[in-house]
């Protein structure tokens, strides 16, 4: 069986589902390599951003390990067989769509304050570079949709830095659920300047290893993004 074009709304979820199917149908084992990002995007007829988002979920769950390189060395290596983990994650994505925005905002506040406290001081140079790159892409974003895409990358990197894979996977699900709301929030503010200031404060606290400053910065940022929907 070959790769099939993705047709549903959340393309990255279909990418995950197809990868899970190929692992099962083709009998892929630990150590086997998946196609590279560009090749997958072409075969599945989705954007490379959708493939990249799917790969981050799989890596967070410990299913694959990203590998740099070109040609035969491109792509990611299977590090474990997923069993039901991916199906469970997809059900989480669907189930979260019925939650109120207040519930999502309160959950994000709890998760991200915990995550950023644990991220402060433990970030490697590579992680700090990923955070800086996300900030740079937010600064250059031409549309609210593009800004939110890179904002998600920043927050997911912070979640990964916490060292808790379940927390990072939950954040991935939450971000997908509130993406439309996040775009509306950027439009409501009319500018990204204050949001950018928030991200720089979060980054500085992580870089300098100040967990309380990091938690305060993330709380202020979420309060700005969710006015009236945050914890009461």
Counted domains in the chain? 2
125 and 24, same structural domain?
A: no
77 and 192, same structural domain?
A: no
208 and 127, same structural domain?
A: yes
**Cα 196 from Cα 140, distance rounded (Å):** 11
193 and 113, same structural domain?
A: yes
In the listed set 85, 108, 135, which residue is the last one of a domain according to the structure?
Answer: 85
On whether residue 2 sits in a domain, the answer given is: no
Q: Is the pLDDT of residue 98 over 70?
A: no
Between vectors from CA 57 to CA 88 and to CA 9, what angle results, nearest 5°? 75
In the listed set 85, 120, 137, which residue is the last one of a domain according to the structure?
Answer: 85
218 and 180, same structural domain?
A: yes
**Cα 55 from Cα 75, distance rounded (Å):** 10
The boundaries of the domain holding residue 167 are 99-225
127 and 212, same structural domain?
A: yes
- Specify which of 66-70, 83-87, 152-156, 175-179 reaches the highest per-range mean pLDDT: 152-156
Q: Which has more pLDDT, 57 or 41?
A: 41
120 and 75, same structural domain?
A: no
Tell me, what's the pLDDT at 15?
A: 82
On whether residue 147 sits in a domain, the answer given is: yes
- Specify which of 72-76, 88-92, 141-145, 225-229 reaches the highest per-range mean pLDDT: 141-145
143 and 104, same structural domain?
A: yes
Q: Is the pLDDT of residue 220 over 80?
A: yes
Q: Which has more pLDDT, 65 or 180?
A: 65
Phi, psi angles (nearest 5°) of residue 76 = -115, 155
On whether residue 6 sits in a domain, the answer given is: no
On whether residue 230 sits in a domain, the answer given is: no
Q: Give the model's confidence band at 116: pLDDT under 50 very low, under 70 low, under 90 confident, else very high.
A: very high
108 and 220, same structural domain?
A: yes
Average pLDDT over the chain, rounded to an integer: 80
CATH number, domain of 143, equals 1.20.120.530
116 and 71, same structural domain?
A: no
Tell me the three-class secondary structure of the chain, residue by residue.
Answer: CCCCCCCCCCHHHHHHHHHHHHHHHCCCCCCCECCCHHHHHHHHCCCHHHHHHHHHHHHHCCCEEECCCCHHHCCEEECCCCCCHHHHHHHHHHHHCCCCHHHHHHHHHHHHHHHHHHHCCCCCHHHHHHHHHHHHHHHHCCCHHHHHHHHHHHHHHHHHHCCCHHHHHHHHHHHHHCHHHHHHHHHHHCCCHHHHHHHHHHHHHHHHCCHHHHHHHHHHHHHHHCCCCCCC
């Amino acid at each position: 069986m070959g790769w099939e074009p993705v047709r549903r709304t959340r393309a990255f979820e279909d990418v995950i589902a197809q990868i899970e199917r190929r692992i099962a149908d083709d009998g892929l084992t630990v150590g086997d390599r998946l196609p590279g990002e560009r090749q997958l995007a072409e075969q599945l007829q989705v954007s490379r951003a959708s493939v990249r988002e799917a790969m981050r979920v799989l890596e967070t769950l410990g299913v694959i390990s990203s590998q740099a390189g070109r040609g035969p060395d491109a792509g990611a290596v299977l590090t474990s067989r997923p069993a039901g983990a991916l199906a469970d994650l997809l059900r989480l994505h669907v189930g979260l769509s019925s939650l109120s925005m207040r519930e999502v905002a309160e959950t994000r506040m709890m998760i991200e304050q915990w995550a950023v406290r644990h991220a402060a001081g433990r970030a490697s140079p590579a992680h700090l570079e990923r955070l800086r790159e996300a900030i740079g892409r937010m600064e250059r974003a031409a549309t609210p949709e593009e800004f939110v895409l890179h904002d998600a990358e920043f927050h997911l990197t912070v979640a990964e830095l916490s060292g808790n894979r379940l927390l990072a996977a939950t954040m991935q699900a939450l971000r997908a659920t509130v993406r439309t709301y996040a775009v509306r929030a950027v439009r409501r503010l009319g500018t990204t300047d204050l949001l950018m200031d928030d991200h720089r404060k979060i980054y500085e606290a992580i870089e300098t290893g100040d967990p309380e400053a990091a938690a305060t910065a993330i709380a202020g940022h979420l309060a700005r993004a969710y006015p009236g929907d945050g914890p009461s």
